Amino acid sequence: MKAKDRRLAELRSVIPEITPDEAQRRREQGAVLIDVREPDEVAQGSPQGALRIVRGFLELKVEDAVPDLDRPLLTLCAGGVRSLLAADNLLKLGYRDVTSVAGGFNAWKRASLPVETPHILNQQERERYGRHLSVPEVGEEGQTRLLESRVLLIGAGGLGSPAAYYLAAAGVGTLGLVDDDVVDRSNLQRQILHTDARVGKLKVDSAREALLALNPSLTIEAHPTRLTADNVESLFDGYDVIVDGTDNFPTRYLINDACVKLRLPNVHASVYRFEGQATVFWPSRPDQPGPCYRCLYPEPPPPEMAPSCAEAGVLGVLPGVMGLLQAVETIKLLLGIGRSLVGRLLQYDALEQRFTELQLERDPECGYCADGVEFPGYQEIVTSCRVPVGG
Ligand SMILES: [Zn+2]
Protein backbone atom coordinates (compact mmCIF):
# COMPACT_ATOMS: atom_id res chain seq x y z
CA MET A 1 0.00 0.00 0.00
CA LYS A 2 1.34 3.43 -0.94
CA ALA A 3 1.96 5.95 1.83
CA LYS A 4 -0.74 8.18 0.36
CA ASP A 5 -3.36 5.41 0.47
CA ARG A 6 -2.33 4.48 4.00
CA ARG A 7 -2.78 8.08 5.08
CA LEU A 8 -6.24 8.35 3.48
CA ALA A 9 -7.39 5.10 5.08
CA GLU A 10 -6.19 6.47 8.40
CA LEU A 11 -8.13 9.72 7.89
CA ARG A 12 -11.27 7.86 6.84
CA SER A 13 -11.17 5.96 10.11
CA VAL A 14 -11.39 9.18 12.15
CA ILE A 15 -13.20 11.68 9.92
CA PRO A 16 -16.87 11.02 9.23
CA GLU A 17 -18.04 11.25 5.61
CA ILE A 18 -21.58 12.06 4.53
CA THR A 19 -23.48 12.30 1.26
CA PRO A 20 -24.16 15.69 -0.36
CA ASP A 21 -27.86 15.37 0.50
CA GLU A 22 -27.04 14.85 4.15
CA ALA A 23 -24.60 17.79 4.00
CA GLN A 24 -27.30 20.06 2.63
CA ARG A 25 -29.64 18.96 5.42
CA ARG A 26 -27.00 19.77 8.05
CA ARG A 27 -26.42 23.21 6.54
CA GLU A 28 -30.08 23.98 7.11
CA GLN A 29 -29.40 23.22 10.77
CA GLY A 30 -26.45 25.63 10.93
CA ALA A 31 -23.42 23.72 9.63
CA VAL A 32 -20.99 25.66 7.42
CA LEU A 33 -19.99 24.12 4.09
CA ILE A 34 -16.44 25.02 3.04
CA ASP A 35 -15.47 24.54 -0.59
CA VAL A 36 -11.68 24.08 -0.46
CA ARG A 37 -11.05 23.78 -4.22
CA GLU A 38 -8.82 26.08 -6.28
CA PRO A 39 -10.27 29.31 -7.76
CA ASP A 40 -10.29 27.96 -11.34
CA GLU A 41 -12.38 24.99 -10.18
CA VAL A 42 -14.74 27.16 -8.13
CA ALA A 43 -15.19 29.46 -11.13
CA GLN A 44 -16.91 26.55 -12.92
CA GLY A 45 -19.51 26.26 -10.15
CA SER A 46 -19.76 25.74 -6.41
CA PRO A 47 -22.52 24.79 -3.95
CA GLN A 48 -24.84 27.75 -3.49
CA GLY A 49 -23.85 29.92 -0.54
CA ALA A 50 -20.75 27.87 0.35
CA LEU A 51 -17.83 29.46 2.13
CA ARG A 52 -14.90 29.30 -0.30
CA ILE A 53 -11.40 29.04 1.09
CA VAL A 54 -8.64 27.45 -0.96
CA ARG A 55 -7.12 24.57 0.99
CA GLY A 56 -3.71 26.24 1.05
CA PHE A 57 -5.17 29.22 2.97
CA LEU A 58 -7.58 27.27 5.14
CA GLU A 59 -5.66 27.50 8.41
CA LEU A 60 -4.96 31.20 7.84
CA LYS A 61 -8.47 32.30 6.96
CA VAL A 62 -11.01 29.98 8.51
CA GLU A 63 -11.00 31.53 11.99
CA ASP A 64 -12.03 34.94 10.68
CA ALA A 65 -14.92 33.35 8.82
CA VAL A 66 -16.00 30.86 11.50
CA PRO A 67 -14.77 31.98 14.93
CA ASP A 68 -16.89 29.44 16.84
CA LEU A 69 -14.91 26.20 17.25
CA ASP A 70 -18.10 24.31 18.10
CA ARG A 71 -19.89 25.19 14.87
CA PRO A 72 -20.21 22.07 12.68
CA LEU A 73 -18.06 22.31 9.54
CA LEU A 74 -18.41 20.36 6.30
CA THR A 75 -15.53 20.22 3.84
CA LEU A 76 -15.94 19.72 0.11
CA CYS A 77 -13.50 19.33 -2.78
CA ALA A 78 -13.91 17.84 -6.25
CA GLY A 79 -13.97 14.14 -5.41
CA GLY A 80 -13.71 13.82 -1.64
CA VAL A 81 -9.96 13.40 -1.09
CA ARG A 82 -8.67 16.94 -0.51
CA SER A 83 -11.71 17.53 1.71
CA LEU A 84 -10.48 14.74 4.02
CA LEU A 85 -7.09 16.43 4.29
CA ALA A 86 -8.79 19.78 4.87
CA ALA A 87 -10.99 18.26 7.58
CA ASP A 88 -7.87 16.94 9.28
CA ASN A 89 -6.35 20.45 9.21
CA LEU A 90 -9.51 21.87 10.79
CA LEU A 91 -9.54 19.29 13.57
CA LYS A 92 -5.92 20.15 14.34
CA LEU A 93 -6.90 23.84 14.54
CA GLY A 94 -9.36 22.95 17.29
CA TYR A 95 -12.70 22.66 15.44
CA ARG A 96 -14.59 19.88 17.16
CA ASP A 97 -17.24 18.83 14.64
CA VAL A 98 -15.79 18.37 11.14
CA THR A 99 -17.22 16.17 8.41
CA SER A 100 -16.10 15.57 4.82
CA VAL A 101 -18.56 15.43 1.92
CA ALA A 102 -18.04 12.09 0.15
CA GLY A 103 -17.67 12.34 -3.62
CA GLY A 104 -17.18 16.15 -3.42
CA PHE A 105 -18.62 18.59 -5.90
CA ASN A 106 -19.02 15.91 -8.57
CA ALA A 107 -21.42 14.03 -6.29
CA TRP A 108 -23.06 17.34 -5.30
CA LYS A 109 -23.92 18.03 -8.94
CA ARG A 110 -25.13 14.49 -9.52
CA ALA A 111 -27.49 14.91 -6.57
CA SER A 112 -28.92 18.03 -8.32
CA LEU A 113 -28.28 20.20 -5.27
CA PRO A 114 -28.20 23.99 -5.76
CA VAL A 115 -25.09 25.31 -7.50
CA GLU A 116 -23.94 28.85 -8.32
CA THR A 117 -21.16 30.24 -10.45
CA PRO A 118 -19.42 32.76 -8.22
CA HIS A 119 -17.42 35.69 -9.47
CA ILE A 120 -13.78 34.82 -8.92
CA LEU A 121 -11.38 37.76 -8.73
CA ASN A 122 -8.90 37.78 -11.59
CA GLN A 123 -5.29 38.90 -11.27
CA GLN A 124 -6.06 42.48 -12.28
CA GLU A 125 -8.86 42.71 -9.72
CA ARG A 126 -6.57 41.27 -7.05
CA GLU A 127 -4.10 44.06 -7.75
CA ARG A 128 -6.71 46.80 -7.93
CA TYR A 129 -8.56 45.82 -4.77
CA GLY A 130 -5.56 44.50 -2.83
CA ARG A 131 -6.06 46.95 0.05
CA HIS A 132 -9.68 45.77 0.41
CA LEU A 133 -8.62 42.13 0.34
CA SER A 134 -6.38 42.75 3.37
CA VAL A 135 -9.31 44.10 5.42
CA PRO A 136 -11.04 41.13 7.07
CA GLU A 137 -14.46 42.87 6.96
CA VAL A 138 -14.19 43.15 3.18
CA GLY A 139 -11.85 40.43 1.95
CA GLU A 140 -12.41 38.39 -1.16
CA GLU A 141 -16.03 37.65 -0.34
CA GLY A 142 -16.86 41.31 0.31
CA GLN A 143 -15.06 42.51 -2.79
CA THR A 144 -16.93 39.95 -4.85
CA ARG A 145 -20.15 41.19 -3.33
CA LEU A 146 -19.28 44.79 -4.25
CA LEU A 147 -18.50 43.73 -7.82
CA GLU A 148 -21.88 42.04 -8.06
CA SER A 149 -23.73 45.02 -6.53
CA ARG A 150 -25.88 47.59 -8.29
CA VAL A 151 -26.22 51.13 -6.98
CA LEU A 152 -28.37 53.86 -8.49
CA LEU A 153 -27.34 57.48 -7.98
CA ILE A 154 -29.95 60.15 -8.49
CA GLY A 155 -28.04 63.21 -9.64
CA ALA A 156 -24.55 63.33 -11.14
CA GLY A 157 -23.84 66.64 -9.44
CA GLY A 158 -22.30 67.88 -6.21
CA LEU A 159 -23.21 64.86 -4.07
CA GLY A 160 -23.34 62.30 -6.87
CA SER A 161 -19.84 63.16 -8.12
CA PRO A 162 -17.81 62.18 -5.06
CA ALA A 163 -20.18 59.33 -4.19
CA ALA A 164 -19.97 57.81 -7.68
CA TYR A 165 -16.21 58.35 -7.92
CA TYR A 166 -15.49 56.43 -4.73
CA LEU A 167 -18.08 53.73 -5.38
CA ALA A 168 -16.44 53.19 -8.77
CA ALA A 169 -12.99 53.11 -7.19
CA ALA A 170 -14.24 50.62 -4.59
CA GLY A 171 -15.42 48.30 -7.34
CA VAL A 172 -19.19 48.53 -7.06
CA GLY A 173 -19.81 46.63 -10.28
CA THR A 174 -22.81 48.46 -11.68
CA LEU A 175 -23.51 52.15 -11.16
CA GLY A 176 -26.66 53.72 -12.53
CA LEU A 177 -26.86 57.50 -12.95
CA VAL A 178 -30.07 59.45 -13.36
CA ASP A 179 -29.66 63.07 -14.48
CA ASP A 180 -31.15 64.99 -17.40
CA ASP A 181 -28.94 68.04 -16.99
CA VAL A 182 -25.92 69.16 -18.99
CA VAL A 183 -22.60 70.29 -17.54
CA ASP A 184 -22.45 74.01 -16.86
CA ARG A 185 -19.24 75.87 -16.02
CA SER A 186 -20.74 76.92 -12.66
CA ASN A 187 -21.00 73.22 -11.71
CA LEU A 188 -17.26 72.69 -11.80
CA GLN A 189 -16.63 74.37 -8.44
CA ARG A 190 -17.90 71.14 -6.81
CA GLN A 191 -19.04 68.54 -9.36
CA ILE A 192 -15.69 66.82 -9.75
CA LEU A 193 -16.81 64.17 -12.24
CA HIS A 194 -17.01 66.83 -14.94
CA THR A 195 -14.35 68.90 -16.66
CA ASP A 196 -14.11 72.22 -18.41
CA ALA A 197 -13.76 70.41 -21.74
CA ARG A 198 -17.10 68.68 -21.18
CA VAL A 199 -19.19 71.80 -20.53
CA GLY A 200 -22.40 71.42 -22.51
CA LYS A 201 -22.32 67.61 -22.51
CA LEU A 202 -24.95 65.52 -20.74
CA LYS A 203 -23.86 65.00 -17.15
CA VAL A 204 -24.48 61.26 -17.31
CA ASP A 205 -22.19 60.98 -20.36
CA SER A 206 -19.50 63.13 -18.79
CA ALA A 207 -19.77 61.06 -15.59
CA ARG A 208 -19.52 57.80 -17.50
CA GLU A 209 -16.33 59.00 -19.18
CA ALA A 210 -14.77 59.93 -15.83
CA LEU A 211 -15.83 56.74 -14.04
CA LEU A 212 -14.69 54.39 -16.81
CA ALA A 213 -11.35 56.19 -17.02
CA LEU A 214 -10.91 55.38 -13.33
CA ASN A 215 -12.22 51.80 -13.48
CA PRO A 216 -12.83 50.50 -17.02
CA SER A 217 -14.35 47.16 -16.05
CA LEU A 218 -17.44 48.67 -14.41
CA THR A 219 -20.88 48.82 -15.95
CA ILE A 220 -22.22 52.38 -16.03
CA GLU A 221 -25.92 52.64 -16.78
CA ALA A 222 -26.69 56.19 -17.87
CA HIS A 223 -30.28 57.40 -17.63
CA PRO A 224 -30.43 60.90 -19.15
CA THR A 225 -33.92 61.52 -17.90
CA ARG A 226 -35.81 63.29 -15.16
CA LEU A 227 -37.19 61.05 -12.44
CA THR A 228 -41.00 61.03 -12.54
CA ALA A 229 -43.81 59.06 -10.93
CA ASP A 230 -44.17 57.24 -14.24
CA ASN A 231 -40.60 56.03 -14.57
CA VAL A 232 -39.35 55.83 -10.98
CA GLU A 233 -40.22 52.19 -10.36
CA SER A 234 -38.83 50.89 -13.62
CA LEU A 235 -35.63 52.90 -13.08
CA PHE A 236 -35.18 51.61 -9.51
CA ASP A 237 -35.88 48.01 -10.51
CA GLY A 238 -32.93 45.70 -9.91
CA TYR A 239 -30.77 48.09 -7.89
CA ASP A 240 -29.65 47.24 -4.36
CA VAL A 241 -29.27 50.76 -2.95
CA ILE A 242 -30.52 54.19 -4.03
CA VAL A 243 -28.29 57.21 -3.37
CA ASP A 244 -30.23 60.46 -3.23
CA GLY A 245 -28.01 63.25 -4.50
CA THR A 246 -30.86 65.34 -5.75
CA ASP A 247 -31.32 69.07 -5.34
CA ASN A 248 -35.06 69.58 -5.21
CA PHE A 249 -38.02 68.67 -3.04
CA PRO A 250 -40.29 66.97 -5.59
CA THR A 251 -37.57 64.48 -6.53
CA ARG A 252 -36.61 63.92 -2.91
CA TYR A 253 -40.19 62.95 -2.03
CA LEU A 254 -40.48 60.79 -5.12
CA ILE A 255 -37.27 58.91 -4.22
CA ASN A 256 -38.52 58.43 -0.67
CA ASP A 257 -41.91 57.17 -1.72
CA ALA A 258 -40.55 54.74 -4.30
CA CYS A 259 -37.92 53.44 -1.85
CA VAL A 260 -40.61 52.87 0.78
CA LYS A 261 -42.78 51.04 -1.73
CA LEU A 262 -39.93 48.93 -3.18
CA ARG A 263 -38.35 48.40 0.27
CA LEU A 264 -35.00 49.81 -0.86
CA PRO A 265 -32.49 51.64 1.35
CA ASN A 266 -32.32 55.35 0.52
CA VAL A 267 -28.93 56.88 1.30
CA HIS A 268 -29.74 60.52 1.70
CA ALA A 269 -27.74 63.75 1.98
CA SER A 270 -28.32 67.44 1.47
CA VAL A 271 -26.17 70.55 1.62
CA TYR A 272 -26.71 74.24 2.18
CA ARG A 273 -23.89 76.80 2.23
CA PHE A 274 -21.62 75.46 5.02
CA GLU A 275 -23.96 72.82 6.42
CA GLY A 276 -24.76 69.32 5.39
CA GLN A 277 -26.75 66.40 6.68
CA ALA A 278 -26.80 62.71 5.92
CA THR A 279 -28.85 59.70 6.95
CA VAL A 280 -30.23 56.43 5.62
CA PHE A 281 -33.99 56.09 5.26
CA TRP A 282 -34.98 52.43 5.37
CA PRO A 283 -38.26 51.64 7.09
CA SER A 284 -38.27 48.04 5.86
CA ARG A 285 -34.82 47.20 7.16
CA PRO A 286 -35.29 43.67 8.54
CA ASP A 287 -33.68 43.87 11.97
CA GLN A 288 -33.71 47.60 12.72
CA PRO A 289 -36.37 49.58 10.84
CA GLY A 290 -35.85 53.33 10.65
CA PRO A 291 -37.96 56.28 9.59
CA CYS A 292 -38.64 57.44 6.05
CA TYR A 293 -38.25 61.02 4.83
CA ARG A 294 -41.96 61.63 5.36
CA CYS A 295 -41.75 60.58 9.02
CA LEU A 296 -39.65 63.73 9.42
CA TYR A 297 -41.27 65.99 6.84
CA PRO A 298 -44.75 64.66 5.97
CA GLU A 299 -45.33 67.43 3.41
CA PRO A 300 -42.95 69.57 1.35
CA PRO A 301 -42.51 73.21 2.38
CA PRO A 302 -44.49 75.81 0.46
CA PRO A 303 -42.47 77.42 -2.32
CA GLU A 304 -42.13 80.73 -0.46
CA MET A 305 -40.42 78.94 2.45
CA ALA A 306 -37.84 77.21 0.30
CA PRO A 307 -34.68 79.29 0.05
CA SER A 308 -34.25 81.13 -3.16
CA CYS A 309 -31.96 79.45 -5.63
CA ALA A 310 -30.31 82.71 -6.51
CA GLU A 311 -29.61 83.69 -2.90
CA ALA A 312 -28.31 80.39 -1.66
CA GLY A 313 -24.96 78.94 -2.50
CA VAL A 314 -22.65 76.27 -1.24
CA LEU A 315 -19.05 75.89 -0.28
CA GLY A 316 -17.74 73.77 -3.15
CA VAL A 317 -16.02 71.17 -0.99
CA LEU A 318 -19.07 70.64 1.28
CA PRO A 319 -20.97 68.27 -1.04
CA GLY A 320 -17.66 66.42 -1.33
CA VAL A 321 -17.74 65.66 2.40
CA MET A 322 -21.41 64.70 2.36
CA GLY A 323 -21.25 62.66 -0.87
CA LEU A 324 -18.37 60.66 0.58
CA LEU A 325 -20.43 59.93 3.69
CA GLN A 326 -23.08 58.58 1.32
CA ALA A 327 -20.47 56.39 -0.37
CA VAL A 328 -19.33 55.04 3.02
CA GLU A 329 -22.91 54.24 4.06
CA THR A 330 -23.62 52.58 0.72
CA ILE A 331 -20.59 50.32 0.95
CA LYS A 332 -21.45 49.36 4.54
CA LEU A 333 -24.99 48.45 3.46
CA LEU A 334 -23.72 46.39 0.53
CA LEU A 335 -21.26 44.52 2.74
CA GLY A 336 -23.65 44.23 5.69
CA ILE A 337 -21.04 45.61 8.09
CA GLY A 338 -20.91 48.26 10.79
CA ARG A 339 -23.68 50.45 12.19
CA SER A 340 -25.52 52.35 9.52
CA LEU A 341 -27.08 55.81 9.71
CA VAL A 342 -30.57 54.26 9.76
CA GLY A 343 -32.42 56.20 12.49
CA ARG A 344 -29.62 58.75 12.89
CA LEU A 345 -29.11 62.12 11.25
CA LEU A 346 -25.51 63.22 10.96
CA GLN A 347 -25.19 66.98 10.72
CA TYR A 348 -22.00 68.65 9.59
CA ASP A 349 -21.03 72.26 10.17
CA ALA A 350 -18.03 73.12 8.01
CA LEU A 351 -17.40 76.51 9.63
CA GLU A 352 -17.21 74.99 13.10
CA GLN A 353 -15.68 71.77 11.73
CA ARG A 354 -18.14 69.81 13.81
CA PHE A 355 -20.34 66.74 13.37
CA THR A 356 -23.42 66.32 15.55
CA GLU A 357 -25.85 63.44 15.61
CA LEU A 358 -29.62 63.40 16.09
CA GLN A 359 -31.71 60.32 16.77
CA LEU A 360 -34.55 60.01 14.28
CA GLU A 361 -37.77 58.29 15.27
CA ARG A 362 -40.22 56.55 13.04
CA ASP A 363 -43.62 58.20 12.97
CA PRO A 364 -46.09 55.43 13.87
CA GLU A 365 -48.75 57.47 12.05
CA CYS A 366 -46.66 58.06 8.90
CA GLY A 367 -48.92 57.94 5.87
CA TYR A 368 -46.27 56.05 3.86
CA CYS A 369 -44.23 53.71 6.01
CA ALA A 370 -46.28 53.00 9.17
CA ASP A 371 -47.14 49.37 9.81
CA GLY A 372 -50.31 48.34 8.04
CA VAL A 373 -50.47 51.48 5.87
CA GLU A 374 -51.14 50.83 2.21
CA PHE A 375 -48.99 52.74 -0.24
CA PRO A 376 -51.08 55.83 -1.05
CA GLY A 377 -49.64 56.37 -4.54
CA TYR A 378 -47.31 59.00 -5.89
CA GLN A 379 -48.24 62.64 -5.36
CA GLU A 380 -47.32 65.37 -7.72
CA ILE A 381 -45.40 67.91 -5.69
CA VAL A 382 -45.18 71.40 -7.04
CA THR A 383 -42.41 73.59 -5.79
CA SER A 384 -40.71 75.50 -8.48
CA CYS A 385 -37.59 76.26 -6.50
CA ARG A 386 -34.73 73.84 -6.53
CA VAL A 387 -33.13 73.73 -3.15
CA PRO A 388 -29.42 74.18 -3.44
CA VAL A 389 -27.32 72.35 -4.16
CA GLY A 390 -27.03 68.63 -4.51
CA GLY A 391 -26.92 69.02 -8.23
ZN1 LIG B 1 -42.43 57.27 7.23
- If pLDDT is split at 50, 70 and 90, which confidence band does 264 have? very high
Does residue 15 share a domain with residue 156?
no
Does residue 157 share a domain with residue 273?
yes
How far does residue 391's CA lie from ligand 1's centre (Å)?
Answer: 25
Q: Is residue 279 part of a domain?
A: yes
Q: Is residue 385 part of a domain?
A: no
Does residue 256 share a domain with residue 187?
yes
C-alpha–C-alpha distance, residues 120 and 97, integer Å: 29
How far does residue 45's CA lie from ligand 1's centre (Å)?
Answer: 42
In this structure, the number of other CB atoms found within 10 A of the CB of residue 361 comes to: 11
Give the CATH number for residue 61. Answer: 3.40.250.10
How far does residue 274's CA lie from ligand 1's centre (Å)?
Answer: 28
Number of domains in the chain: 2
Read off the pLDDT of residues 153-179 as tens digits, 9 standing for 90 and up.
Answer: 999 999 999 999 999 999 999 999 999
- Please state the length of the chain: 391
Ion ligand 1, residues whose Cβ is below 5 A away:
292, 294-295, 366, 368-369
How far does residue 256's CA lie from ligand 1's centre (Å)?
Answer: 9
- Which pTM was predicted? 0.80
Does residue 167 share a domain with residue 27?
no
Does residue 322 share a domain with residue 191?
yes
Domain extent, residue 330, equals 149-359
Read off the pLDDT of residues 279-323 as tens digits, 9 standing for 90 and up.
Answer: 999 999 988 899 999 999 998 877 666 654 446 789 999 999 999
Does residue 154 share a domain with residue 107?
no
How far does residue 333's CA lie from ligand 1's centre (Å)?
Answer: 20
Give the model's pLDDT for residue 307. 59
Does residue 283 share a domain with residue 186?
yes
C-alpha–C-alpha distance, residues 299 and 381, integer Å: 9
C-alpha–C-alpha distance, residues 158 and 389, integer Å: 7
> 76: Cβ–Cβ under 8 A, 6 or more apart, which residues?
23, 33, 34, 35, 36, 37, 47, 50, 83, 100, 101, 104, 105, 108
How far does residue 128's CA lie from ligand 1's centre (Å)?
Answer: 40
Q: For the chain, what is the total number of helices (H) and then of strands (E)?
A: 15, 15
How far does residue 59's CA lie from ligand 1's centre (Å)?
Answer: 47
| Closest to 368 (Cα-Cα) out of 382, 359, 379 | 379
Instruction: Kindly tell me the burial class for residue 227, based on how many C-beta atoms sit within 10 Å of its own C-beta (0-12, 13-18, 19 or more).
Output: buried
Read off the pLDDT of residues 14-56 as tens digits, 9 standing for 90 and up.
Answer: 999 999 999 999 999 999 999 999 988 998 999 999 999 999 9
Does residue 108 share a domain with residue 192?
no
Does residue 85 share a domain with residue 225?
no
Q: Is residue 128 part of a domain?
A: no
Residue type, 83: S
Q: Is residue 389 part of a domain?
A: no
